[in-house]
Amino acid sequence: MRRVASGIMALAAVVAAGACASATPREPAPRKAEYLVFYADGKQHQAEAAIERAGGSTYSAETKLGYLLAGGSGAGFEEAVGADPSIVGVSPDRQIGFATARPATSGTGSSGRFPDEQSFTKTRGEPLAGRQWDMRMIGADRANAKAPGTKKVLVGVIDTGVDGKHPDIAANFNRELSRNFVTDRPKDDKGETLDGPCEAADCKDPVDADDDGHGTHVASTIASPINGIGIAGVAPGVQIVNLRAGQDSGFFFLKPSLDALTYAGDIGVDVVNMSYYVDPWLFNCAANKADSKKEQLEQRAIITGMQRALDYARQKGVTLISALGNGSTDLGHPTVDKQSPGYPKGDEKTRQVDNSCINVPAESKGVISVSSVGPSGRKAVYSDYGEEQTDVAAPGGDALDGEGIKVTRTILAAAPERVLRAAGRIDAKGEPKGADVVKDCENGVCSYYQYLEGTSMASPHAAGVAAILISRFGKPGRGGLELAPATTEELLFKTATPKACPTPRQYVYKSFGQSETHACDGGESDNGFYGHGIVNAWKAATVER
């Protein structure tokens, strides 16, 4: 996977003021380094004055979320602006996230290959339905026929993009409403490869492209149609809207994330899936003594900015669903963060953290956070957890859930052919090189699928169930259906299958001579491993209000 995009967003240069009498044209004056400056309610003018006093310039204002896009230069600019009482956070306009998927080939040894898998018995449904243990676990295979969802429901995928031309996505892909909020960045400011060469002339990919594959896998799990091809998603009748906020490399910038959430609210999206965690800070702390003032201001900006965007979308009727994360961490009792700040590379430090530090957006207010389970129903070894943090659980796969390693214990969903070719997962003839990729050809049409695991794969299962509930109980409005996010959340919890903590509660994961212990707190109806339970598409399709 290609790595993170450039740290500071470089916008178009500002043409130098005044005309030059010389025949030689003047070079345009570049804009200063850019920052998102978040101000307190009603304090926009004071914030603009603070920026000016610090030697900066205000380029634009986003009054919906209460921040200014500003330019500044010189050491101490952020601290100087942040010292003003009108300012609540200052962040460089750079990446803050990374998609939370794990390749199905992880942990398989140097070859990166899985052992040959067993053959699959043909089952009712789509051609590859026999491989979808995840859909059987939550009753989606039965729910598909009874309550597949309606085209009036829009599910936004805030991710690395969606391959809208994939044969098993195209029928449910809304190209007109889809947007790409990012620009590809071939290299970072140190000259290291990030996204790689741009595919489009202006480095702005079309709205139906995904050069990473993560977003396509998520979208497929939510809503691959029933069309006699490949697989079916949890809600095969709803529409997918690509709200691209992630780079090809899998990282996310703050402003595109804010823009995607705001746009989702403005156009009437019903559910958004956010399968990524924020970066450069794995844990965002408002006042950690281990951090400099500049670092504290950046983390406050991330916490504040994302919360404002999430609140805006939720107030507009968007149900917010997020992956919990893949750090094997009790988010209610974090102690050490060794991964932050994750950008630029080499800046990581070991710092003590506590429960005042949060993972965004998983721990942001108003967000339904999803842990991951394997085919046995146990919490996946990699999945984050926490009594206050886990709202529901869903199948996300766990290759280690049983004896040895099996790729088929992870989640199968659509993959872009171009991405698989670039990664060397299919050969020149288009044939898979390993068991982690599946090719399905029906009536002369071939499509590709890939096994992945992670809370990224769990979250879209919950998003699909939410889409079923909105399809059933939503009322006409804004050109589609509307169901208050609080009501959707209540129904999602009500229809989940309760699952108690394991006995003993100190669950020991063992594999390849190693072990680690995760402690599960809470009762059967709400606990740190499974929240209110494992989402259930069949109950969502049949429950009565």
Element (H, E) at 36: strand 33-39
324 closest CA partner among 269, 379, 285, 261:
379
3-state secondary structure (DSSP) of residue 272:
strand
Sign for the pseudo-dihedral over CA of 150, 151, 152, 156: positive
Neighbours of 317 (CB within 10 A): 23
Residue 218 structure tokens:
């998520």
The residue annotated as part of the active site, out of 84, 141, 159, 212, is 159
410 closest CA partner among 474, 453, 363:
453
Whether the CB-CB separation of 196 and 250 falls below 8 Å is answered with: no
268 closest CA partner among 229, 244, 288, 239:
239
The residue annotated as part of the active site, out of 214, 217, 461, 532, is 214
Q: How many CA atoms does the CB half-sphere of 222 hold within 13 Å?
A: 36
In 268-403, which residue ranges form alpha helices assigned H by DSSP?
A: 293-315
Extract long-range pairs of 108-111: CB within 8 Å, 24+ residues apart: 108/399, 108/405
Instruction: Tell me if residue 214 is catalytic.
Output: yes
Residue 379 has φ and ψ, to the nearest 5°, of: -60, 135
The residue annotated as part of the active site, out of 178, 220, 322, 456, is 456
Instruction: Tell me if residue 159 is catalytic.
Output: yes
Whether the CB-CB separation of 242 and 207 falls below 8 Å is answered with: yes
Strand 67-72 relative to strand 411-414: parallel, antiparallel, unpaired?
unpaired
137 closest CA partner among 372, 300, 368:
372
Strand 514-519 relative to strand 506-511: parallel, antiparallel, unpaired?
antiparallel
* Beta bridge partners of residue 100, listed in sequence order: none
Separation CA 540–CA 472 (nearest Å): 9
Whether the CB-CB separation of 464 and 537 falls below 8 Å is answered with: yes
Element (H, E) at 315: helix 293-315
Instruction: Tell me if residue 73 is catalytic.
Output: no
Active site residues: 159, 214, 456
